[in-house]
Amino acid sequence: MNTRILHIDMDAFFASCEQARTPELRGKALIIGGNVDDARGVVSTASYEARAFGVRSAMPIAEARRLCPHGIFMRGDHAHYAAVSRQVKAILETVSPLVEMASIDEAYVDVTGSQRLFGGDDAIAVHLKRAIREQLNLPCSIAIAPNRLVSKVATNEAKPDGYRCILAGEERTYLAPLPVQRLPGAGPKTCESLARIGIKTVGQLAEADPRTLARAVGDQGALGLQRAARGETGAQIETDRAPKQISRETTFSEDIGDWHELEQVLMPLAEHCCHRLRGRGMVAWRVTLKVRYAPFDTQTFAHTLDAATNLDAEVFSALRPLIAKARARRGKVRLIGVALGQLGHAEGQLDLFAAPGHEKWGRVLTQVDALRGKIGFNAVRLGKRDNE
Ligand code: TTP
Ligand code: MG
């Protein structure tokens, strides 16, 4: 199954939220930001009607007033926008449990497993755009592509109120004509350096000589940029948001020597970590068991997997031999924990659910995660209990 990542970004979000709840503001040049009386205030956002006059986010309010004197200026109501953002998330969760809010008005949704149910990318996008319009009265832009990077770029190109679908294999040709500025990770300084060596479009960047590129933007930068320009997942330019590991631990009020009892605590911790990993669309290569023997002697036992995973059953199997090692120490235990590390994006690996013997797990876990999203993590537990 080809990985399909949906990216959604709400149009002129704060302004649209105000227009949604106050009909008189619709179709007007609306500018949200700062304190209207504060000369240092800046624009948070402007409706597209105000953008036609050159008003932009982060511009001083005073300048916005000069450009758009007839505009309606309002202070923001962040509590309201945060509440609307939660409603958007709930709508996104009707198509897939793998929803990652990237900011207040932007999210990535792994819709790989939703294709059959909805009848394909276009149907998923139409369903979401309609639900958001009907339930929240808001416009948004959506793209669906083989990975996060291409999807994000395409959403911005589709604005406002648009939809783009980029098929597997089309990534590079889609990106090629765009200016390099459109690539996430290519900031103004980088773009200046690229312009100095004659690179203006993403296509030119993709085909640039790696050594010339490295001289202009550094070794690391060159590698990440060129991968991004080719439409490959740009792990390098997403790392600042990605966690290094996902972990959970429990400290006991009394030290425990019974490993049967300890396992009853440990497995739910592992389930929690896997649930969070899937929620972020990630997989882990390394499983670590952390044990603090009374009083302050902390030990870790780790195992690197042959293939990255986010499946509970595989993490449980990796933990078994680690538990045996920890148990051999024979001390009473004060704290126990599990960490999943060496994380990667699940793109291309969510196919892991499609591997022989895993399809069933994939289906089950998708449902389990969805249920947990609705009624809480403890709604469904997979680890072995007593009496099982
Ligand atoms: P964006 O998604 O960047 O902008 P937008 O939704 O207003 O417009 P569009 O996506 O259609 O281009 O940001 C989301 C919200 O975050 C925006 O409505 C207001 C807020 N914001 C600020 O407060 N300051 C800023 O500088 C930016 C860019 C956004
Ligand atoms: Mg937006």
pLDDT, the chain, mean: 86
Q: Cα(230)–Cα(213) distance, rounded to whole angstroms?
A: 14
Confidence of residue 352 (pLDDT cuts 50, 70, 90): very low
For the ranges 271-275, 295-299, 336-340, 350-354, which has the lowest average pLDDT?
A: 350-354
pLDDT reported for residue 39: 61
Query: Is the beta carbon of 347 within 6 A of some atom in ligand 1?
Result: no
Residue 12 Cβ contacting ligand 1 at under 6 Å: yes
Instruction: Give the ligand 1 atom nearest the CA of 103.
Output: 14
What pLDDT sits at residue 185? 77
Please report the atom of ligand 1 found closest to the CA of residue 105.
Answer: 14
- The average pLDDT across 93-98 equals 88
Nearest CA, atom 8, ligand 1: 12
Any ligand 1 atom below 6 A from CB of 85: no
Q: What is the predicted pLDDT for the residue at 262?
A: 94
Extract the tokens encoding 207.
Answer: 């085909």
Burial of 67 by CB count in 10 Å (0-12 exposed, 13-18 middle, 19+ buried)? Answer: middle
Residues with CB under 5 A from ligand 2 (ion): 9-10, 13, 105
**What would the pLDDT profile of 114-163 be if each residue is shown by its tens digit?**
998 999 999 999 999 999 999 999 999 999 999 989 999 999 999 999 99
Q: Does 121 sit in the ligand 1 pocket, CB within 6 Å?
A: no
63 vs 43: CA distance, rounded Å: 9
Task: Give the residue-averaged pLDDT of 217-239.
Answer: 71
Q: Span 315-321, mean pLDDT?
A: 95
Ligand that lies nearest to the alpha carbon of residue 41, given by its number in the listed order:
1
Q: Does ligand 1 have an atom closer than 6 angstroms to the CB of 18? A: no
Q: Which has the higher per-residue pLDDT, 32 or 221?
A: 32
- pLDDT above 50 (res 238): no
13 Cβ inside 6 Å of ligand 1: yes
Q: Which ligand is nearest to the CA of 31?
A: 1
Q: Is 14 in the pocket of ligand 1 (CB under 6 A)?
A: yes
Q: How many CA atoms are closer than 13 Å to the CA of 153, on its beta-carbon side?
A: 29
Which contiguous run of DSSP H or E holds residue 291? strand 282-293
Query: Which one of the ligands is nearest to 104 CA?
Result: 1
Q: What is the mean pLDDT of residues 268-287?
A: 88
| Protein residue whose Cα sits closest to atom 21 of ligand 1 | 44
Q: Which of 106, 263, 271, 314 is catalytic?
A: 106
Residue 9 in contact with ligand 1 by CB distance below 6 A: yes
What pLDDT does residue 227 have? 87
List the end-to-end C-alpha distance of the chain, in Å, as a whole number: 34
In this structure, which residue's CA is closest to atom 7 in ligand 1? 12
Residue 383 has a pLDDT of 52
Question: In this structure, which residue's CA is closest to atom 23 in ligand 1?
Answer: 44
Cα 211 to ligand 2 centroid, rounded to whole Å: 37
* Residue that is written with structure tokens 């939220």 in the block: 17
8 to 101, 102, 160: CA distances (angstroms): 9, 10, 11
User: Taking 50 as the threshold, does the pLDDT of residue 95 lie above it?
Assistant: yes
pLDDT on residue 239: 30
Question: Three-state DSSP class for 268?
Answer: helix
Closest Cα to atom 4 of ligand 1? 12
Cα 10 to averaged position of ligand 2 atoms, centre (Å): 4
55 vs 23, 49, 191, 316, CA distance in Å? Answer: 22, 9, 24, 54
Q: Dump pLDDT digits (tens) for 1-15.
A: 788 999 999 999 999
What pLDDT does residue 363 have? 63
pTM over 0.85: no
Both tokens of residue 333?
Answer: 């235990």
pLDDT given for residue 386 in this prediction: 39
Q: 45 CA distance to ligand 2 centroid (A)?
A: 9
Query: Is any atom of ligand 1 closer than 6 Å to the C-beta of 159?
Result: yes
7 C-alpha to ligand 2 centroid (Å): 11
Question: Residue of the nearest CA to atom 5 in ligand 1?
Answer: 12
Candidates 284, 272, 245, 286; CA nearest to 369 is 272
Which residue out of 8, 11, 45, 152 has the highest number of ligand 1 atoms within 8 Å of its CB and is therefore the one to mutate?
Answer: 45
Q: Cα(261) to centroid of ligand 2, in Å?
A: 49
Active site (annotated) includes residue 106: yes
Q: What percent of the chain has pLDDT above 90?
A: 61
Please give the pLDDT value at position 385.
Answer: 42
Q: Which of 62-76, 166-180, 234-248, 336-350 has the lowest mean pLDDT?
A: 234-248
